[in-house]
């Protein structure tokens, strides 16, 4: 197919879009676009948009899967792909029509602005060095693969294990991390008796000395970083691989945590920009069709573009004070204009965004429902109405962003003085999938080298899953 545009056309439209971007007060990084074909796009999708990336078979699997779906028409390829870097790097599909390219460029500026301003990104990722970081990682991994004393199999063994644990990391990376000494200082201070002017009427609580010898001092969510720092038997290259996988997981964390907000924000702005561009009629008509394809509801699943856009619209359109019972849930409503939107785009993530602004009205409009498994069917258990919307919202909030990854913390690296790595799953009603837990513990054991134990609940019984040299065991906790 011959595209119905030239690079000059795109540059012209880009200029007009930028005027609007500036007029609306968006604040993006410099932007670069690369025109690519579907093969390149498949490659970029596989490697998260990175021009260079370290090798691992899982990317081959991901490529085959995406390509099969694409070849069989199960799913199309995205119109665009954009990565969080400075300058921001976006990919445009060559075969798209001019209208789609304009829409996509506008959409990309929305993402770009979000990357530059949302605290999840600004507090954690260093956009200036994104590309060089991935490139350096790729070079290091390749150097280990090519090192005859290490080789591909050994590298793969560590990467397999590290990948399985990469999402077990500290979620709010904007909170400053204390050093081990500071942590212990804080523990000690917390344990000291507080000055109590009413000592005569209170019974003085017994002083309990904090256990300052314990490692980690307080429960630790960063599993890979902890193992890297506290397993003395790892070699340098093994440590480095853990660092690489951990750093990349941290880079992707903000995107996981803000998927709905970010897609909604980009969709909101491409719509505003396109509507203000005075498009020729045939482009405008095509735009309406394409826009609706992107933000239409997907009955039976959740379309983050649709949900996000709808909530942003709600924030913008909110003028009258909301009813009191809603305020209780959502906090005081912000002013009904774009300045409120800009404030929200800086300080929220999907969980807080939805908690604050997803109200009964939006939920009923979207016809959000909760379903659960009954035998081999998925059955609707609740629909959004007066009685149930809060429960459905709670379920939704549990599942967005990192909500779908169980919270597991290392509590003791020397459990029972046996150097057993002891972890606790913070169980809040959802059991772990045991088959997966077994295999993940196997990987954990591989990296730790000694017994690993995970405390969780299985069918409401406290259970300890163990993995040692003899394999997997599950036993009821005493």
Partner 1 sequence: MATGAIFRPFRHSEAERSDRSAGDRLRHRQKIRESIRDNIADIIAEESIIGQRKDRVVKVPIRGIKEYRFVYGENESAVAEGDGDVQEGQVVGQADGEGQGDGDKAGDKAGQDIYETDVTLEELIEIMFEDLELPDLERRALKQIPAERTTKRKGYRQVGIRVRLDKRRTARQRVKRVLATRGRMDDPDLPTNTEGTGRYPFHTDDLTYRHVIPDLRNESNAVVICIMDTSGSMDTMKKYLARSYFFLLFNFIATKYLSVELVFVAHHTEAREVTEDEFFHKAESGGTFISSGYQKALDIIDERYHPSLWNIYAFHCSDGDNFDSDNSAAMRCAKQLADVSNLFGYGEIKPLGSRYYESSMLSLFRRLDADNFQTVVIEKKEDIWPAFRSFLSKDRAGLITEKAPEEAAEV
Q: Which of residues 367-426 bind partner 1 (CB under 8 A)?
A: 367-373, 375-383, 392, 395-396, 399, 404-406, 408, 425
Exposed / middle / buried, residue 354 (Cβ in 10 Å: 0-12, 13-18, 19+): buried
Closest approach, Cβ 430 to partner 1, in A, equals 4
Interactions with partner 1, residue window 290-329 (CB under 8 A):
297-304, 306-307
Strand pairing partners for 425?
Answer: 408
Euclidean distance between the first and the last CA atom of the chain, given in angstroms as a whole number: 68
Residue 71 within binding range of partner 1, rule CB under 8 A: no
Q: Give the residue with the Cβ less far from partner 1, 280 or 299.
A: 299
CA torsion angle 397 401 402 406 (round to 10):
50
Closest approach, Cβ 182 to partner 1, in A, equals 29
Task: Tell me the Cα Rg of the chain.
Answer: 25
C-alpha distances (whole Å) from 284 to each of 51, 281, 290, 305 are 34, 5, 10, 20
Which member of 177, 199, 327, 430 binds partner 1 (CB under 8 A)?
A: 430
Beta carbons of 254 and 348 less than 8 angstroms apart: no
Interactions with partner 1, residue window 340-359 (CB under 8 A):
none
Interactions with partner 1, residue window 144-173 (CB under 8 A):
156, 163-165, 167-168
Question: DSSP label at 12?
Answer: H
Diameter over CA atoms, the chain: 88
Count of residues of this chain found to bind partner 1 when the rule CB under 8 A is applied: 90
Closest approach, Cβ 203 to partner 1, in A, equals 43
Q: Give the residue with the Cβ less far from partner 1, 178 or 302.
A: 302
Distance, in Å, from the CA atom of 266 to the CA atom of 152, rounded to the nearest integer, reads: 41
Q: What is the x/- site pattern for partner 1, positions 125-144, by CB under 8 A?
A: --------------------
317 contacts: CB under 8 Å, gap ≥ 6? 336
90 contacts: CB under 8 Å, gap ≥ 6? 31, 32, 33, 34, 80, 81, 82, 83, 104, 105, 108, 112
Interactions with partner 1, residue window 72-111 (CB under 8 A):
75, 87, 94, 105
Interactions with partner 1, residue window 250-279 (CB under 8 A):
none
Q: What is the x/- site pattern for partner 1, positions 33-52, by CB under 8 A?
A: xxxxx-xx-xx--xx-----
Q: Give the residue with the Cβ less far from partner 1, 31 or 130.
A: 31
Distance, in Å, from the CA atom of 150 to the CA atom of 242, rounded to the nearest integer, reads: 15
Which token pair is 242?
């853990």
Cis peptide leading into residue 87 (ω within 30°): yes
Which member of 316, 434, 455, 472 binds partner 1 (CB under 8 A)?
A: 434
Closest approach, Cβ 179 to partner 1, in A, equals 27
Q: Give the residue with the Cβ less far from partner 1, 99 or 307.
A: 307
Interactions with partner 1, residue window 170-229 (CB under 8 A):
none
Q: Give the residue with the Cβ less far from partner 1, 330 or 340.
A: 330
Q: Give the residue with the Cβ less far from partner 1, 11 or 190.
A: 11
């Amino acid at each position: 197919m011959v595209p119905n545009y030239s690079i000059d056309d795109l540059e012209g439209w880009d200029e007009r879009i930028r005027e609007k971007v500036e007029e609306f007060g968006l604040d993006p990084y410099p932007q670069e676009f690369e025109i690519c074909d579907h093969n390149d796009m498949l490659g970029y999708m596989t490697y998260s948009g990175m021009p260079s990336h370290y090798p691992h078979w899982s990317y081959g699997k991901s490529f085959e899967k995406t390509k099969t779906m694409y070849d069989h028409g199960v799913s199309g390829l995205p119109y665009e792909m954009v990565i969080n870097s400075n300058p921001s790097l976006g990919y445009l599909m060559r075969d798209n029509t001019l209208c789609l390219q304009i829409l996509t460029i506008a959409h990309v500026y929305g993402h770009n602005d979000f990357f530059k301003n949302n605290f999840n990104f600004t507090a954690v990722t260093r956009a200036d060095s994104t590309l060089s970081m991935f490139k350096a990682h790729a070079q290091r991994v390749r150097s280990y693969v090519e090192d005859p004393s290490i080789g591909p199999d050994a590298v793969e063994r560590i990467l397999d294990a590290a990948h399985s644990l990469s999402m077990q990391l500290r979620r709010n990376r904007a909170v400053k991390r204390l050093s081990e000494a500071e942590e212990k200082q804080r523990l000690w201070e917390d344990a000291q008796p507080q000055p109590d002017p009413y000592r005569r009427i209170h019974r003085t609580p017994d002083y309990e000395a904090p256990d300052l010898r314990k490692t980690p001092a307080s429960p630790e969510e960063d599993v890979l970083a902890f193992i890297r720092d506290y397993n003395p038997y790892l070699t340098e290259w093994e440590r480095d691989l853990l660092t690489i996988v951990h750093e990349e997981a941290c880079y992707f964390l903000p995107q996981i945590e803000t998927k709905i907000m970010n897609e909604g924000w980009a969709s909101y702005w491409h719509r505003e920009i396109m509507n203000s561009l005075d498009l020729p009629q045939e482009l405008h008509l095509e735009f309406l069709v394409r826009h609706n394809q992107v933000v239409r509801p997907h009955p039976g699943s959740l379309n983050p573009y649709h949900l996000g856009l709808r909530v942003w619209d709600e924030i913008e359109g909110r003028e009258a004070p909301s009813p009191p019972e809603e305020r209780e849930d959502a906090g005081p409503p912000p002013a009904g204009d774009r300045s409120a939107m800009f404030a929200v785009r800086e300080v929220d993530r999907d969980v807080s965004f939805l908690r604050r602004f997803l109200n009964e009205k939006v939920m009923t409009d979207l016809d959000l429902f909760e379903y659960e498994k009954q035998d081999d069917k998925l059955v609707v258990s609740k629909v959004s109405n007066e009685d149930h919307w809060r429960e459905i919202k709670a379920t939704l909030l549990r599942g967005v962003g990192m909500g779908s990854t169980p919270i597991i913390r290392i509590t003791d690296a020397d459990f029972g003085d046996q150097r057993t790595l002891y972890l606790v799953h913070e169980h809040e009603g959802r059991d772990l999938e045991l088959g997966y837990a077994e295999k993940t513990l196997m990987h954990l054991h591989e990296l730790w080298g000694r017994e690993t134990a995970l405390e969780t609940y299985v069918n409401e019984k406290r259970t300890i899953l163990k993995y040692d040299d003899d394999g997997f065991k599950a036993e009821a906790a005493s």
